[in-house]
Amino acid sequence: MTDYMAQMLNELMGSQRDAMPGERKELRFDDVNVCTDFLVGFCTHDIFRNTKNDLGFCKYSIHDENLKKSYQTSDRKGKMGFEQRFLDRIRRIHEDVHRKIQKHEDRLSVTQRESKSAEETFGEKIQENEQRREQLAKKVEDLMDEAAVEGAKGNVEAAQSAVEKADKAKFEMEELLTELTNLRTEKDRAISMEENVTAGNRQMQVCQICGCFMLQNDAPQRVDDHMTGKLHIAYQQIADTIQVLEQTIEELKQKRMEERFSRRQDRSRSRSNERKRSERSEHRRDHRDHRDRDRDHHHRHRDHKDHREHREHREHREHRDRGDRHRSDRDRRVSSPKFTKK
């Protein structure tokens, strides 16, 4: 079975589609195949599906609403780094689309600038033409003078040659005049064409959410179609989520700091209580030797038990941290998807 088909089936039927009815194991949100973006918010692969920026299939096969709920209500929420990783990912997409918006705006301003150069180009050609005709007119004048002088001297051949040269120059002048008329017509046509293009460009604008070209003052139906288009909505969702998530992460940080502070206070309070207790017990020891021994034994036993529980807890946490590290390594290994697909 191809990867594509497997992933499609996973999306349709869940990744445990092959398991026999009784065999399905209880899924947990920290399973390695769970898309953690989905737990936190949404899968970026989902929101761009079948748009110009389709990201292909998500490399994590499990996107499950129940797991999302169990993560959202879990006391591990906000402590696994999922939010930060999701935020980093959607920020990259957000930055990409902003580069695209900038590029498209640059393109609009360049076409507007280019349209001015036609007048300049034709203006230069017309100026050259006029200068050349002036030179030729002067040349014709000089040659006719020369012909007159030579004729008066009786140098018929020289006079004739000067007249022939003058005729040639006149012919060239006429050619230049025809060219000038053509240039003027071309110039007018180019300018009016440019005006249309420029006017078209002026009516164009770049959508500040998704980077698409849009017509200014377009028909409401078309504007509506754009705003409810999947691509536009996806980028809008990303922009909104970044704002919300930044705030959520800040609040989580605050909460954790407060928790740490109150834990420290609890610890110092219990230490001072213990000190008082031991002072009291020392005071009583003289009188209740036998009973104290019993109670100390009990204390020791409980301390031992506390200590063991604490160690187990720590081992569990270390194991979980390793899992997290493994997961973020795995994330880093996979190259970031391309969003520049046209």
> Which residues contact Zn ion by CB under 5 A?
35, 43, 58, 207, 209-210, 232
Nearer to Zn ion (CB atom), residue 35 or residue 47: 35
Nearer to Zn ion (CB atom), residue 169 or residue 231: 231
Q: Minimum CB separation from Zn ion for residue 79, in Å?
A: 21
Beta bridge partners of 306: none
Nearer to Zn ion (CB atom), residue 57 or residue 122: 57
Within 13 Å and on the Cβ side, how many CA atoms surround 211? 22
Q: Minimum CB separation from Zn ion for residue 246, in Å?
A: 21
Q: Minimum CB separation from Zn ion for residue 13, in Å?
A: 16
Return the DSSP state at 78. Answer: T
Widest pairwise Cα distance in the chain = 161
Contact in structure between 339 and 93 (CB atoms under 8 Å):
yes
Nearer to Zn ion (CB atom), residue 176 or residue 209: 209
Distance in angstroms (rounded) separating the CA atoms of residues 161 and 150: 10
Q: Minimum CB separation from Zn ion for residue 237, in Å?
A: 12
Q: Minimum CB separation from Zn ion for residue 60, in Å?
A: 5
Q: Minimum CB separation from Zn ion for residue 35, in Å?
A: 3
Nearer to Zn ion (CB atom), residue 159 or residue 210: 210
Distance in angstroms (rounded) separating the CA atoms of residues 328 and 199: 51
E strand intervals along the chain: 204-206, 213-215
Give the number of other CB atoms < 10 A from CB of residue 190: 16
Which residue in 164, 167, 177, 169 sits closest to 138, CA to CA? 169
Nearer to Zn ion (CB atom), residue 151 or residue 229: 229
Within 13 Å and on the Cβ side, how many CA atoms surround 142? 8
Distance in angstroms (rounded) separating the CA atoms of residues 204 and 261: 56
